[in-house]
Amino acid sequence: MEKIRYFKYFYSNKWHDPDTKTWFDSENPSTGDVWAKVPDCGITDIENAVKAAKMAFYEGSWGKLMPAERGRYLRRIGDVISKNASRIGKIETTDNGKLPKQITPSLKEGAWLLDSWYYYAGMCDKFEGRLIPAEMPNMHNYMNWEPFGVVAQILPWNSPIGTLIWKLAPCLAAGNTVVLKPSEQASCSILELMDILLKADLPPGVLNVVTGYGPSTGEPLIDHPDVRMVSFTGGKNGGQAAAKIASKQTKPIVMELGGKSPHIVLPDADLDLAVNGVASGIFPAGGQSCISGSRLLIHKSIIEKFTEKLVELVKKAIVGDPLDPKTQIGPIANKNHYEKILKNISSAVEAGHKLILDGRMECRDKGYYIGPTIFKDVPNSSSLAQNEIFGPVVSTESWDEEYDAIEKANDTIYGLAAGIWSSDTTKAMRIADKIEAGTVYINNYFNAATQSPVGGFKQSGYGRENGWEGMRCFMQTKSVWLSTNPSQADPFA
């Protein structure tokens, strides 16, 4: 067995043991074995990291850089990450079981995720101020874009590096400094990235990482008075707790939360296209993606055929060790979540829902494996159809009239994404207009681009990531009034 690796936490471009002198375990989900120990950071550690970020913003060179100079740093970060893509991918696979092919290629030159660094590098000097034509003689009013200062960024476990890049690149491009808190379930690829980014020569304190649990590390970080803004990606409950803390000091917070995304399959859909698209939109990542399409709303005339084809297709999927090149679906990322998914499946069976493909057949003695799981005829009002399981579990339900499909699709507290499958584009666009979700896919699913803003409607969150909007969230405007009138009337004359 390999030696257990001890990590430190990171601030001012240096590694530090936690003041708490405690570490927690990180398990490899493909075996269940502990492979690393991660610092359990407490108040003093948070204080150190925030202080470093504050110094870098107010006193160090970062806060004084011209926007174009920040762009050069971002390009360098992109270059360094692409050279180390495999190193990052390997550690993320060990930490959360994601397949290397789901990480490493996205960090190589030409991949859209890596391109985020170059996109935002170019955008650093494109946020132009404006002269405002206020209706006042002898007055110049202009507005500028400014960063917030120290930003806390809180990450989930399902895709640490991906979710990090979505928020970190625009945040640095905007001129902020950052304290990151990765998930307690998957911190190691983020810590490894800090080591890699030392080669990008960022000034000390621009980027800092504290590790630990939500309540004991995340909450005091958000609550720190020198943290001026928060960007949170995670579940609804964690997000609501974070927003409550942030609201005490009226801190802006961007929230990228969960979903229960529907697919509407119309009777005229190309069935092979739709089946492949629906399956790709949930199962390869083991359902552990925020936009997983887990509620299938299929027209009653095709539901039998569609479901039959779907089961046929996903039964073939190879579930197993993420390091085996033949594997198509890796393990569930951690024990806690694995047990939660199994409990959800059992509860659905107990509630009387028809299980037509049981992924529990893939469970093993070691490691956290669950295969594709499909339930049939699940009413949209049931807890199976309403609650985010965040695992390889889908429910199907039929519909008759278009308005019924739209109503069911929108009948959820979430609004992250939706898929529509139809050969009639006009009809599909008409439905898309009525869907309450931040992203709607027509005859495709799961695509994303650094240029295209993503985010939630309803309880899936607010604020946006990617695109111009993604950077705008990390900036505030300042309005400056300059009078060219040398006199000011006496207010008491």
Q: Which two tokens stand for residue 285?
A: 């990542």
Cβ atoms of residues 185 and 336 within 8 Å: yes
From 77, 113, 155, 210, residue interacting with ligand NAD (rule: CB under 6 A):
155
* 256 noted as active-site residue: yes
If you ran DSSP here, which 8-state letter would residue 320 be given? -
For the CB of residue 152, give the shortest distance to ligand NAD in the complex, in Å: 9
- Sign of the four-CA dihedral 359, 344, 349, 418: negative
Rule CB under 6 A: is residue 174 a binding residue for ligand NAD? no
Complex with ligand NAD: residue 214 or 330, whichever CB lies closer = 214
**Residue 149, by phi and psi: left (phi above 0), alpha (psi -120 to 50) or beta?**
left
Interface segment toward ligand NAD; rule CB under 6 A; list 44-52, 157-165, 320-328, 346-354: 157-165
Complex with ligand NAD: residue 156 or 367, whichever CB lies closer = 156
Q: If DSSP codes are grouped into helix, strand and coil, which group holds residue 465? A: strand
Complex with ligand NAD: residue 269 or 342, whichever CB lies closer = 342
From 160, 218, 320, 372, residue interacting with ligand NAD (rule: CB under 6 A):
218
Complex with ligand NAD: residue 28 or 158, whichever CB lies closer = 158
Could you tell me where the DSSP H helices lie in 38-111?
43-58, 67-83, 85-96
- Of 290, 362, 397, 473, the active-site residue reads 290
Rule CB under 6 A: is residue 327 a binding residue for ligand NAD? no
Say how far apart CA 245 and CA 250 lie, in whole Å: 9
From 102, 104, 158, 439, residue interacting with ligand NAD (rule: CB under 6 A):
158
- Of 219, 256, 388, 465, the active-site residue reads 256
Please list, in sequence order, all residues whose beta carbon lies within 8 angstroms of the beta carbon of residue 167, skipping any fewer than 6 positions away.
153, 231, 233, 254, 465, 470
For the CB of residue 264, give the shortest distance to ligand NAD in the complex, in Å: 20
For the CB of residue 186, give the shortest distance to ligand NAD in the complex, in Å: 8
Q: If DSSP codes are grouped into helix, strand and coil, which group holds residue 228? A: strand
For the CB of residue 239, give the shortest distance to ligand NAD in the complex, in Å: 6
If you ran DSSP here, which 8-state letter would residue 6 be given? E
Say how far apart CA 99 and CA 89 lie, in whole Å: 8
Applying CB under 6 A, the residues found at the interface with ligand NAD are 154-159, 163, 181, 183-184, 213-215, 218-219, 222, 233-235, 238, 241-242, 256-259, 290, 388, 390, 416, 461
Residues labelled catalytic = 256, 290
